[in-house]
Amino acid sequence: MDIRGLAMPLSTYRTRRTGAAKRVERAFDRRVPLLLIGCDEHTLRRERQDPWFDYYCGCAEPEAALLIDPTSRSARDTLFLDAGDPARIIWDGARLGPDERGRRVHGVHAIADKLELEKRVIAAAKRAGNRLAMCTREREPGFQSSAFAAWKKKLRGITLVNAEPALVHQRMYKDAYEIAAHRRAIAITWAGLKQVLPRIPKLRSEAEVAAELICHYKKDSYGPLAFPPIVGSAVHGATLHYPHNDRPLVKKAPLLIDSGATASGYCADVTRTVPQHGRFDDRRFREVYELVLHCNTLGRKHARPGITREELNAIAWKPIIDAGFIRHHGLSHHIGLDVHDPADYTVPFAPGMIISNEPGVYLPDEGFGIRIEDDLLITRNGCEDMTRGIPKDVRGLEAAMRG
């Protein structure tokens, strides 16, 4: 049978789990077991593996769970797999089961049947003074947060604590493998944009643009998209998270495209805004475009170790605010397995972090919105614009649209 998931070396997952156990212990002043729940079959097929679960074991099997239990004498890291129903194999394909093979493939200390999970979790929590750690968040909650809520209901007499604020300090720093995966995601994204940009004058609708992009982003591995593309023609480009992509293209109007492929689960997040006929000949649009581009340049120039997100915001948005426009969103978010990666923004930027650089001006009354979004890797001396190969100045974009 084919093994899926496990994008990183097994040693990476092991090191991450050791780091997680340490961070949880530090955060709660004692050893507390950490429980991470993998997606159920339905969510996994529709979306992707939960990023927290993926980060700590890379397991792509449905209905799995991971218990990192530093109070256990015999085995700290136990992966729980669903034995599955043999009659389903002809429908869903073979699965890795809770046996020695599953244990070896995932490089964990122990493997157990999913049916054992609740009993084992309760025993572990009891050893830790009736405490159990899981991950949850209020903004953009996702699968792990639902699991947190479900277990909170289920567990009586056990205090469920949120490990996410402690664990984000691991995910904020990307290693060489993660950076390489991010680069691949950007390369796929650019390959798609490169094909689709020159076709825009021939296409009729936002839907056609979005569908062609998705086709290119999926060609590599049929992996998930970083997020559903935002393709906003004219006034729809002024809706920050425009979800519909169903209106006709408007000749000569600006078109905002915010999209990204993934590679090994890591997300690219890139926005370009182009005139649909391929020329920046509208004076007003070009004037606002150059302003946004200037702010994007400022963001890149000042993104470096030691600067906080708020300090970078103050610098990069200033020309937009001075020109009398409104700032509707932040310049940067962390990017990783989640396109909006969970992070602690009180920590200044540091080498290994990957952040977005995305100033924008949104003018629904004038019938357009402009956002120019790059992915920056913070380096020792400043940053690397990982998306620099994707044109963003007027000449570069006009050339890209000529094909």
Residue ranges in contact with Mn ion by CB under 5 A? 269, 356
Residues with Cβ within 8 Å of 130's Cβ and at least 6 positions away in sequence, in order, are 157, 158, 159
Smallest gap from residue 108 Cβ to Mn ion (A): 34
Give me the least distance between CB of 40 and Mn ion, in Å please.
28
The tokens for 164 are 């996410």
What's the first-to-final CA gap in the chain, in angstroms?
43
Q: Of 263 and 376, which has the nearer Cβ to Mn ion?
A: 376
Q: How many CB atoms lie within 10 A of CB 89?
A: 12
The interaxial angle of helices 176-196 and 206-219, nearest 10 deg, is: 140
State the minimum distance, in angstroms, from the CB of residue 95 to Mn ion: 35
In terms of CB distance, is 50 or 269 closer to Mn ion? 269
CB 316 → Mn ion: shortest distance, Å? 14
SS3 content of the chain, % helix, strand, coil (to 5): 45, 20, 40
Element (H, E) at 225: none
User: Quick count: other Cβ atoms within 10 Å of Cβ 224?
Assistant: 16
CB nearer Mn ion, residue 63 or residue 269: 269
CB of 381 to Mn ion, least distance (A): 24
Nearer to Mn ion, 164 or 341 (CB): 341
Q: DSSP for 305-352?
A: TT--HHHHHHHHSHHHHHTTPPP-S-S--B-SSSSS----TTSPP-TT
The Cβ-side half-sphere exposure at 75, using a 13 Å CA radius, reads 14
**Residue 400 forms beta bridges with which residues?**
none
- Integer Cα distance of 190 and 219 in angstroms: 13
Smallest separation (angstroms) from Mn ion to the CB of 268:
10
Question: Which residue is it, tokens 């998931």?
Answer: 5
Minimum distance, C-beta of residue 307 to Mn ion, in the bound complex (Å): 19
Give whichever of 136 and 259 is closer to Mn ion, judged by the CB atom: 259
Q: Which is nearer to Mn ion, 127 or 329 (CB)?
A: 329
Nearer to Mn ion, 61 or 269 (CB): 269
Residue 14 or 340: which CB sits closer to Mn ion?
340
Residues paired with 110 in a beta bridge: 78
User: Which residue's CB is nearer to Mn ion, number 145 or number 357?
Assistant: 357
CB of 375 to Mn ion, least distance (A): 9
Least spacing, CB of residue 332 vs Mn ion, in Å: 8
> Cβ(11)–Cβ(110) under 8 Å?
no
Separation CA 375–CA 332 (nearest Å): 9
Residue 269 or residue 385: which is nearer to Mn ion going by CB?
269
The answer to whether residues 233 and 206 touch, using CB atoms and an 8 Å cutoff, is yes
d(CA 62, CA 56): 15
Min dist. Cβ of residue 333 to Mn ion (A)? 6
Question: What is the Cα–Cα distance from 334 to 343, expressed in whole angstroms?
Answer: 7
